[in-house]
Amino acid sequence: MMNGYDEKHSFNDEPEPGSFVRAFDAFPKSKPQYVQQSAGGGKWTVAMGVISLVLVWSAIGEWWRGVENHTYAVEKGVGHNMQINLDIVLRMKCKDIHVNVQDAAGDRILAASKLQEDATNWVQWVDNKGVHKLGKDAHGKVVTGAGFHDEGFGEEHVHDIVALGKKKPKWSKTPRMWGRGGGDSCRIYGSLDLNKVQGDFHITARGHGYAEFGEHLDHSAFNFSHIINEFSFGPFYPSLVNPLDRTVNVANTAFHKFQYFMSVVPTVYTVGHAHSASQTIVTNQYAVNEQSHEINERMFPGIFFKYDIEPILLTVEETRDSYLAFLVKVVNVLSGVVVAGHWGFTISEWIREVIGRRKRQQSMGMIGNEKGGYHD
């Protein structure tokens, strides 16, 4: 016994026998009898936990999105061909439609001979409210989306665009027609290889729009209401959304002209990782303006896509930190929260102590004399 303490309760900083590694422990420890729990400390711990969770989740989101770099340059090399992919439902019979392409090189392509045409019914693609979307709704109608969409190719993350672009392209099947008859509408879809120059893609009525011999379609059969499920330039990536995808336009009269003016920009999407090889897809983006209006009988109704190829190349590159760099960033975030929480707790406890001391002094001053004693 020594001053009321035996050997068990003495302060012995020596490591226990047989624990050689503990001798190198550089982190200070407090014995349990010197640790005091407090309500303030518990609140600060909860706050630190919530803040840590929010900041770590934000860091994960930032790492997942990556950093995008956009670079513009004059397109190098000589381009010759360009592919156009389209999937359009027109509210006219297939035999009454002509599809042609006229480009700045003077070439005229009878696109109908290179595209697939399927008879269908308009009511299978649209309901009375004009709702369209690929797939089928609860009533079995094919749905293709609704309205004119402004969002474009670049709304998705680059790594999503590249991943979707690696999937095997496949055209959806035309829904089986209901009832009998040849259908009142026509679905035109497929891909075309064209000259990489300015051009016009026309959908007009039989015997109208070009100096052709043959029977002219009766004007009462004109109806250029249409649904655009797909319209893109370059390799066919059906999973990627373009500005004209899911566009719906309805003609109010037989003589109605729809015009789409497009500026096409060659685009390269690249995803680079610090821990793996880069992945790239080459495609095209485009901006589009639309004009639609009624015309007189001296003009030709129809759907006209006018496209121009911009002489620039847009490169969109996404990069991400390696797993190790991301882990270091998370550790730094957590360390910063712990340090800030420690200082916050220390300052708040000091403020509480100062306020408590002043209250005690004021209380003693009201019932005692200036020396701390009491009056007789």
Profile the chain (376 residues) by mean pLDDT over runs of 10 residues: 49 55 62 65 80 87 78 80 90 89 79 86 66 44 41 57 74 77 86 89 80 68 88 85 84 90 90 67 89 84 92 84 84 87 83 81 62 49
DSSP code, position 174: P
The amino acid at residue 358 is R
Distance in angstroms between the alpha carbons of the first and the last residue of the chain: 50
pLDDT given for residue 186 in this prediction: 92
The Cα 280–Cα 90 span in angstroms is 35
- Give the number of other CB atoms < 10 A from CB of residue 232: 26
The half-sphere exposure of 266 on its side-chain side, counting CA atoms within 13 A, is 19
pLDDT given for residue 141 in this prediction: 45
Cα distances from 354 to residues 196, 277, 351, in angstroms, run 79, 60, 5
The Cα 219–Cα 297 span in angstroms is 9
The half-sphere exposure of 365 on its side-chain side, counting CA atoms within 13 A, is 6
DSSP code, position 111: G
pLDDT given for residue 150 in this prediction: 39
The Cα 88–Cα 227 span in angstroms is 6
The DSSP H or E segment spanning 151 is none
Query: Diameter of the chain by CA atoms?
Result: 129
Closest C-alpha to 89, from 186, 172, 21, 198: 186
**Residue pLDDT, tens place only, 2-47:** 454 454 444 455 556 556 666 656 556 667 766 666 666 777 788 8
Angle at 19 between CA 15 and CA 20, to 5 degrees: 90
Angle at 187 between CA 230 and CA 266, to 5 degrees: 25
| Alpha-helical segments (H) within the chain | 39-65, 158-165, 323-367
Cα dihedral across residues 196, 191, 187, 218: positive or negative: positive
The amino acid at residue 112 is A
The amino acid at residue 136 is K
Tokens linked to 104: 């700045």
Query: Is pTM, for the whole model, over 0.75?
Result: no
pLDDT given for residue 303 in this prediction: 93
Q: What is the 3-state secondary structure (H, E, C) of 290-351?
A: EEEEECCCCCCCEEEEEEEECCEEEEEEEEECCHHHHHHHHHHHHHHHHHHHHHHHHHHHHH
The amino acid at residue 197 is V
Residue 231's contacts (CB-CB under 8 Å, 6 or more residues apart) are 84, 85, 86, 87, 88, 242, 244, 245, 247, 305
**Residue pLDDT, tens place only, 44-82:** 788 888 888 888 888 888 777 777 788 888 887 777 788
Q: Checking DSSP bridges between strand 97-103 and strand 81-90, what pairing results, if any?
A: unpaired
